[in-house]
Structure 1
């Protein structure tokens, strides 16, 4: 497996996104989202895209990890770990010595143990309350 710091194409994004059972938005909405992301990450097996993730943020105080997905036939083989390690490495490379930033993500209940291995904490905890989410649609 090989990891690259690159954004998936909208078609690659849609295929990997759907492969894990998520309902993907249309290709134009995906294209806009990818164009406004800080950095993309792709993982390949013999040139075949098998996983992806993207990073949003402000390069100073906050980062948001989004759309971490690996094709089902490649799950539990280290691809997700490589993606997470590369994203966290990328974030550290952006920061001057002495800075600290918040890194956030939303996990499915099944993924919580995976993300805890990287230091993520489940909310609420002693410092943070529950995270919140809203899907806003334009009618």
Structure 2
């Protein structure tokens, strides 16, 4: 199967469906619609004309960048699509992030080794602690 990547914002429906199918948390269509409009950079991977993967960067575009929503439909996993997504997202960061910018991500599903390939380090207590607050 031929895959290709487009630099574009996915539709809210595509975004929610791919996230859920890939095992990420549910986002409402309302939240997705708002969030997708406010991202810094987004990509969608297609198999023929069907979206099968997504990835985004959010942040303020200067001091802080966060890699989010790396998700590929289960039937298309283990085919290099995550690598395709991350390579383009990291290229965007290296092209646009000024010196001293902080780039972060939360690695789900035991994937820290995957992200280490792109220069990310695991934050370990007591020096650092990753934290979150989920609004339900």
TM norm. shorter chain > 0.5 = yes
Q: Deviations over 1:111-138 (max 9, x none)?
A: 1111111111111179x5111111134x
CA distance in 2, matches of 1:109, 1:11: 23
Unaligned regions of 5+ residues in structure 1, if any? none
TM-score, normalization: structure 2?
Answer: 0.89
How many pairs are equivalent? 134
Return 5+ residue gaps in structure 2 as ranges: none
Hey, what does 1:110 align to over in structure 2? 110
Q: Specify the alignment match of 2:132 in structure 1.
A: 133
Which of 58, 63, 66 is equivalent to 2:65?
63
Mapping for residues 20-99 of structure 1, pairs under 5 Å: 20-95=22-97, 99=99
The separation in 2 between residues aligned to 1:89 and 1:132, in whole angstroms, is 27
Q: What is the deviation of 1:109? A: 4.6
TM-score relative to the length of structure 1: 0.88
Distance 1:9 1:109, change over 3 A: closer
CA RMSD of aligned residues (A): 1.7
Instruction: Measure the CA separation in 2 of the matches of 1:92 and 1:119.
Output: 12
Q: 1:95 Cα shift?
A: 3.9
SS of residue in 1 equivalent to 2:111? helix
Task: Compute the displacement of 1:25 (Å).
Answer: 2.2
